[in-house]
Chain A
Amino acid sequence: EAGVTQFPSHSVIEKGQTVTLRCDPISGHDNLYWYRRVMGKEIKFLLHFVKESKQDESGMPNNRFLAERTGGTYSTLKVQPAELEDSGVYFCASSLLPGPGSEQFFGPGTRLTVL
């Protein structure tokens, strides 16, 4: 069974540009999460989808970040315009059931560098 996949694995862009990250969760997983890890710090929650609906987006840093999950399958996270502090590793995770007690399966991450 395929795990969570993310594309691209790396992205280097200049400040002010736009970048779109993609996540394909495990098939059948209604719950999809986005996280970010900046400069060796904690893995920080960004938002949680249940199917195509945003269940919790309390971790989104600001309105330059837009997440979508059309059709309840794959998800995209767009950063527009990118700033230097957006650099980090963006992880996507999926789970069969909601809530912190359900195992989350992580993708390998997208390393974003904003110059």
Chain B
Amino acid sequence: QQQVKQSPQSLIVQKGGISIINCAYENTAFDYFPWYQQFPGKGPALLIAIRPDVSEKKEGRFTISFNKSAKQFSLHIMDSQPGDSATYFCAAPGSARQLTFGSGTQLTVLP
């Protein structure tokens, strides 16, 4: 069964800094790796996703870097803002084609 290891568990960054969250997966039968963002009291919402025919995908200040050989992918948030403070989840598809999520990273961006 697919396992996704996410780190760090929590992250504190100054405004304007770079936030980096890492994930590693074991196996996947389907190449699609999303990141979800969750604000308090809300459900997770899709932030950005990558299909690893490319090694990097950028949307605004958010970038996914993907290393297929290492089975690792990461989320970079450039110029982090207090409004980015949230819990971030990575996910990977398992053999049953259902998403397996990481344990989440609570990001706090200080003003």
Contacts and interface: CB of A to CB of B under 8 A. Distances in A.
Interface stretch (A41-49, A67-75, A78-86): A41-49
Given A101-B30, A104-B46, A106-B43, A40 B104 contact: yes
A40 to B, nearest CB: 7
Interface string A16-54: 000000000000000001010100111111001000000
A38 B45 CA distance: 19
B97 to A, nearest CB: 6
A45 B98 contact: yes
A4 interface: yes
Contacts of B46: 103-105
Nearest to B45: A106
B30 A44 contact: no
A31 B41 CA distance: 23
Nearest to B33: A100
Given A4-B43, A43-B89, A100 B99 contact: yes
B98 A41 contact: no
B38 to A, nearest CB: 8
B41 A108 contact: yes
Interface of B: 4, 6, 30, 32, 34, 36, 41-46, 49, 51, 89, 91, 93, 96-104
Interface of A: 4, 33, 35, 37, 40-45, 48, 56, 58-59, 91, 93, 99-101, 103-109
14 contacts: A42-B4, A42-B89, A42-B101, A45-B98, A56-B98, A58-B96, A93-B43, A99-B30, A100-B30, A100-B91, A100-B93, A100-B97, A106-B43, A106-B45
